[in-house]
Amino acid sequence: MNESAQVVGMGVAAPSGLSVEDYWAAVLAGRTSIGPVTGFDASGYAVRLAGQIGDFDAAAHLPKRLLPQTDRVTRLALATAASALAGADIEGAEMDSFDQGVVLANAQGGSEFTHREFRKLWTKGPAEVSVYESFAWFYAVNTGQISIRHGMRGPCGALVGEQAGGLDAISLARRRIIEGTRLMVTGGFDSAFDPWGFLSQNSHGRLSQATDPRHAYRPFDRAVDGYVAGEGGAVLVLEAGSSARRRNAPSYGEIAGYAATFDPRPDSGRPPTLRRAIELAMADAGVSTVDVVFADSAGVPELDRIEAAAIGDVFGHRGVPVTAPKAGFGRLGAGGGPVDVLTALLSMRDSVIPPTPHTTDVPEDYGLDLVLDAPRERRVDTALVLARGYGGFNSALVVRKNAEEGQDG
């Protein structure tokens, strides 16, 4: 293909930080950004811990007009998109509004807003329900609000695939770039820490009931007993390579390859398909190996074993460094994949692989070279990011550093 999808801007809102550099510093330090559930009375829940963003001041980031009509997840998405676009520095690039699109993933909707309005419906009656509930609940609202605020009238979309959806969204944005759109805002966000949202997040019983934040989410560890749910996500600004070159826009790297597979029914006797997603994504990128894998890291023994086997089958026994920085802040649903892609791009920039906090004892037969308690310095030119969504979604995405002329790295 002639056109490439270059990452020219990035923003993040995660329990580990609300700016790219704050987040990156926390992740490199292996900081624990997991704590007791806050925002509502969670004392009646078996699950005690979450990865929540403690210091987000929506009013400081958004026009007042947007506050009454947005859920927390949309506010996080809007603030992060604005910061990613500022970094992309497209002012003055004279892009037609129809040449700019938005594709974001979201799996849990505007949960807190919706359940506040439902409470009003049941207790005060229909006249008290906000008219903004008509769209504030919706999975596509983050995409729509960003599109409206920044005047982006090109191809837009919203994808739902639980934790896998964020990578699917980035891939769809890449496809739009290859088809001829000049700029795409992409990524994913989730936040559902209201009484109903938190309950629904554990409908499958995979959340850890541990009370020690250092023990609640230890992916690939022998002692793992679930994961921690978190909130947040990331925005990547993708620009057509030809356009970025024309205006000398610096790029963090290229979205180089992607594939998605869907697992067969659990009782079918057929094997899971994560391995095939990895192979197809690498074929799409035209690479035979990568320098690091950012694992999905389900935190469920059976799923960790499936992922370790898929990585081992493709790369060999301890054949590639693997990491799971999300062990420090939780699984962010639709936001998880985009945050990992952002982290992978920072690994490329700084030639260092961040650690997997909390995990200490990886079964030998997993054959994983997991980067454990300290960052590992290493040149990173290609990275593979994996994400699995509940119900059988597998997505794999390859990012690649650009060959730079006249620059080091």
Neighbouring C-beta atoms of residue 175, cutoff 10 Å? 16
Figure out which of the listed residues 22, 128, 361, 377 binds another protein, where binding follows CB under 8 A. 128
Q: Distance between CA 327 and CA 56 in Å, rounded?
A: 21
Q: Which of residues 308-337 bind another protein (CB under 8 A)?
A: none
132 touching another protein, by CB under 8 A: yes
Q: Distance between CA 398 and CA 197 in Å, rounded?
A: 32
38 touching another protein, by CB under 8 A: no
Q: How far is the CB of 151 from another protein (least distance, A)?
A: 15
Figure out which of the listed residues 25, 46, 86, 131 binds another protein, where binding follows CB under 8 A. 131
User: Based on the number of CB atoms within 10 Å of its own CB, is 226 exposed (0-12), middle (13-18) or buried (19 or more)?
Assistant: buried
127 touching another protein, by CB under 8 A: yes
**1 vs 127 by CB, closer to another protein:** 127
**CA-wise closest residue to 185 among 63, 375, 9:** 9
Q: Which of residues 55-94 bind another protein (CB under 8 A)?
A: 63-69
Q: Distance between CA 319 and CA 304 in Å, rounded?
A: 17
**64 vs 265 by CB, closer to another protein:** 64
**60 vs 403 by CB, closer to another protein:** 60
Q: How far is the CB of 66 from another protein (least distance, A)?
A: 7
Q: Distance between CA 366 and CA 107 in Å, rounded?
A: 30
**130 vs 200 by CB, closer to another protein:** 130
Task: List the Cα angle 284/286/291 in 5-degree steps.
Answer: 105
| # binding residues, another protein (CB under 8 A) | 13
122 touching another protein, by CB under 8 A: no
**40 vs 135 by CB, closer to another protein:** 135
Name the residue type at position 366: Y
Figure out which of the listed residues 56, 130, 214, 215 binds another protein, where binding follows CB under 8 A. 130
Figure out which of the listed residues 134, 211, 289, 360 binds another protein, where binding follows CB under 8 A. 134
Which sign, positive or negative, has the C-alpha torsion 37, 341, 260, 381?
negative
Q: How far is the CB of 76 from another protein (least distance, A)?
A: 18
**131 vs 223 by CB, closer to another protein:** 131
**114 vs 402 by CB, closer to another protein:** 114
**92 vs 126 by CB, closer to another protein:** 126
Q: How far is the CB of 85 from another protein (least distance, A)?
A: 20
Q: Which of residues 211-270 bind another protein (CB under 8 A)?
A: none
Q: How far is the CB of 115 from another protein (least distance, A)?
A: 19
What does the per-residue mask of binding to another protein show for 161-200, with x meaning CB under 8 A?
Answer: ----------------------------------------
Q: How far is the CB of 239 from another protein (least distance, A)?
A: 30
> Given the rule CB under 8 A, which of 123-131, 150-158, 230-238, 249-257 is the region that contacts another protein?
123-131
Q: Which residues bind another protein (CB under 8 A)?
A: 63-69, 127-128, 130-132, 134
